[in-house]
Structure 1
C-alpha cells in the first residue's frame, strides 16, 4: 500500500459549461463558456488560488451537435494549445496540461508549439496524448477512414518517441551568445535527430530551445490494453475513470497500472494515477444533496423506461416517469446490479424515496466518473481514504457547474484538505514537474556527446 505521507495531487479539468450536461441551464450559469475568455481566465486563476497541480484542457477535433444533450462541451471546444498559451500569460504557478490528438497531428509542429509554451510559461506545460474515438474526425483531415485502435496507438507511440528526440535536439547550454566572438550557438550541442520510422521521417533539430522542463510531462488516458502499454512506457500521469469501479476496483486498477512500470525500467513513483471525480459540495450535506437534485432536474425530460427496466432488472413498463420507485416495483426483486444502481442513487440524492426519473438521471451519469455529494468534511473524507488506501495518487476534479462548482471546491474542500495536512498550502516549486514530484531528465544527446569525448 502506498505511504499515507506521500503528496496528494489535484488537477482541475475545464468543462466551461459544467461537467453536468444540464448545468448551463442553472440561473446565471454561462452558456458561452467555451468562448468566454473572462470565464476561462478566472477559472485558471481560481484553480491556481487553490494550489492545484494543474489546469487540464481537453480537446476534440470534431464538432458533434448530436451530443448536445449528453455532453454539450463536445459540441463546442476551444483549441487546446491556443488556450494553454493564453492561460500561461495570466497565471504564474499552476501547471497547464493541454491535449493533442496525435492521430491527426505531426510531431514536429506539436513539439515546437509545446516547447514554445513551456518557455512562455516558465516550465508549466504538460501534454495529454489522445488518439481519438470519433470516426467523423477522419473526414475533417482528408482521410477516408478513422484508423483502428492498433494503428492509432502504433502511430502515437512513434509520435511520442519523435517528440522526445526533438525536445532533446538542443542541449541546455547550446545557445552561448558569446558577444566577444560573435558565436550565437555551439553547433556541437545542437543535434539532428534523423528519425526514420514506420510513420515519420524527421530530420531536426527543433528551432526552439530545449523546454524549461527538459521533457514536457506526458499524460494519457484510456482503458484499452494498448493505452495501458503506451502509458506504462511513456506517461508521467495516467488519467483514469477508475473511480467508477468503487474503492476495491480502483485499488486493483491502480495496482495493475503501477505493476506495468518495471518492465520499462521505471519505478512506481515515476507515474501518478489520477482518477476523475465529479464533486457537488456545499457547506452542509443537506445543501449539497439539494444542489445535486436541482442539477439533475435539468436533465432532458424524457425517461426511457425500457432502458431503466433492463438496468434494474425490474418491469417498469407503463409506469409514470415521476412515479415513486417503491410504488412502481418491488426493489427487493431487482438484480444485483439494479440494487447497486438504486443504492448509489439514494446515496447521491441523500434520501430513500426516489422517483423513476431520479433513478434514471443518476444511472445515466454513473459511467462517467464517480460523483461525490456532501459537505467539505465528507468530500475530504472520501478523497483522503482513496488516496491513503492505494486507489489514487490524486484526483482530477470535475465541477458539475461553472464557475460556482470550482469556487466551492477551492473555498470549501481545499481548506479542509490543508487542515488535515494532506495538501499543500502553497507551491513549493515553479514548474509542472516540480508540482508532480518529477525530476528534470538529462539530455540524451549531451550524455552521448560527453561519452564520446571521454572515449
Structure 2
C-alpha cells in the first residue's frame, strides 16, 4: 500500500452538528486549550502528518444549529504557535483569509512560527464570501467579494517574495571582520499590484522550509485553478471514490498545463469516521448522534431564527416524493412507506442503513428524522471498525483517488482517541502511516522538496492567472 498523507482537522467541540450534545463530549470553548494539547499529543504519538485548523471570521446564533464548531474558536495562528511549543514533529497548518489579512503581518507570523517550530508550519489560504466577515473588517462586502480571487493571487505572490527576503546564507556573522550580513543577501519585495502594495523586506529570516506549504480549498472552477497552479496541498470535498478520482485527475491536469510538475500537487479529502470496536457498536454510535440532531419540527411554534431551512420535513418531502406535512419526525419508516419513495428517498434509506444499521421492516426501522439527517449532514462519513476505516482509506489510495485524508472527529475527545488508538495502529501496520516520522519538517511529511528562493531563479510569470 502506498503511503498516504493523514492529517487531523481540529474542531474542539466536534465536527458533527450534535457531537457536542453527546454524553461526555467537550462542549465549553473555555476549555479548548487542554483539548488542543491532548489532541496534539495523541496525534503526534499516532504519527499523523499534521493538525489542520480552519477558520471563520464571524459568529451568530444561527451557527449554533448550522455549524456549532464555528460559534467560538481560537485564532488558528495562535493555536499552532501554542502547539509548536508542546510538540516536536507533527506539522501545524493554520488558516488565513486573504480577503482581509495583511500580507506583511501574515508573512512575519508564519515565518516566525516556522522558525520556532523547526519547520513544521503550513498555511491554508482561503477567500471569504461572508458579509459579516467583511463588516467585521470594515470592508464593503460587494467590493471585496468581486475581487477576492484577484487579491488571493496577489496575496500569495507577496507572501512568497516576503519569505524570500533573506537569502538562506544571508547571515555571515563573522565576528572578526564585523560582517553580519552578506552583501546583496537582503531583498526588497517591491510589489505593486491592483490590490496590494508591499515594499519589504521582511524582518524575519527565511523560513526553515523556504516557503511554508500552502493549502487551497474550494470547489469552484476558479478555486481549483488557483490550487492547481500554485498550491502544495489541495483540499477537496468528494462525494465518493469515483468523484474524488475525477477531481484529482482534473487538478493534476491543470497543474501540468500550468507548467509545474503535477506530482507536487497533493490532493487530500476530508473524512469523518465514526469508529467502534465492532461495526454494530459504530452504527449504534452514529444512530445516537442522528437522534440528537434537532430538526425544524422539534419546535411546535417554529424553529429559532437562523435555523437551517433544509433541516426539516418540509425540505425532505420533495426529496422523497411524499407529502410529510403534519407528520411526526420520529415516525418509523416502514416498508410500506419506503415503497412510496422516489429514487432519492431510496438512496437516503440506504445511507441510513449503512450508517446506523436501521432498515425498514427491521427490528429498528429508521425514522423520518434519520432521513433528514442523512440528507443534510453532508460530511463524508465512514462508519465501522478500525479495519473498516483502514480498508476504505486503502481503497481510495489504491484507486489514485486521493493522496491522503483530513480526518474529522464527530465527538471530542472520544472519537479522536478512537482514531489514534484503533485506526492509526492499523494504518501503520499496513504501511499507510509510517512507524516513525521519516522527516523533520512538514514539507518532508508531505513528500515535498524545499523550494529555492525566488531571487535565486527567474520567477515563472505563468504560475498564476
- Into which bin does the TM-score normalised by the smaller protein fall? over 0.9
Query: 2:115 is matched with which residue: 105, 115, 119?
Result: 119
The CA distance in 1 between the partners of 2:21 and 2:395, in whole Å, is 34
Pairwise CA distance, 1:301: 5.2
Match of 2:385 in 1: 375
Which residue, out of 393, 404, 429, partners 1:394? 404
User: What is aligned with 2:315?
Assistant: 307
Shift of 1:149: 4.9
CA–CA distance in structure 1, aligned partners of residues 145 and 415 of structure 2: 35
Contact 2:316–2:372 (8 Å) recurs in 1: yes
RMSD: 1.5
Residue among 272, 289, 307 paired with 1:278: 272
Show the counterpart of 1:216: 212
CA distance in 1, matches of 2:35, 2:433: 26
* CA positional deviation for 1:268: 2.4
When structure 1 is superposed on structure 2, of 333-342 and 162-171 the one drifting more is: 333-342
**Selected match of 1:426 from 418, 426, 436:** 436
User: 1:67-82 residue pairs with structure 2 within 5 A?
Assistant: 67-82=63-78
How far, CA to CA, are the matches of 1:149 and 1:350 in structure 2?
44
Structure 1's unaligned 5+ residue stretches are 449-455
Residues 169 and 193 in structure 1, CA contact (< 8 A), matched pair in contact too = yes
Q: Contact 2:210–2:452 at 8 Å: present in 1 too?
A: yes
1:103 aligns with 2:103: no
Matched, 1:293 2:287: yes
The reply to whether residue 347 of structure 1 matches residue 341 of structure 2 is: no
CA drift of 1:133 comes to 2.5
Moved over 6 A (4+): none
* Cα distance between partner residues in 1 of 2:217 and 2:383: 25
- Residue aligned with 1:274, SS: strand
- Following superposition, the deviation at residue 269 of structure 1 comes to 1.4
State which of 181, 185, 192 in structure 1 corresponds to 2:181: 185
Residue deviations 1:272-322, cap 9 Å, x none? 111101111011101101111112222115442221111222222332221
Map 1:10-409 onto structure 2 (within 5 A).
Answer: 10-33=6-29, 35-147=31-143, 149-242=145-238, 245-300=239-294, 302-303=296-297, 304-326=312-334, 330-352=337-359, 353-365=365-377, 367=378, 369-409=379-419
| Aligned length in residues | 439
| TM, length-normalised to structure 2 | 0.91
Q: 1:176 to 1:155 in 2, by over 3 A?
A: same
Q: Aligned-pair distance for 1:150? A: 4.8
- TM-score, normalised to structure 1's length? 0.93
Distance 1:146 1:62, change over 3 A: farther
- Distance in 1 between residues matched to 2:244 and 2:339, nearest whole Å: 28
Superposition deviation, residue 34 in structure 1:
6.2
SS at 2:249 equivalent: helix
Unaligned runs of 5+ in 2: 298-311, 360-364, 459-465
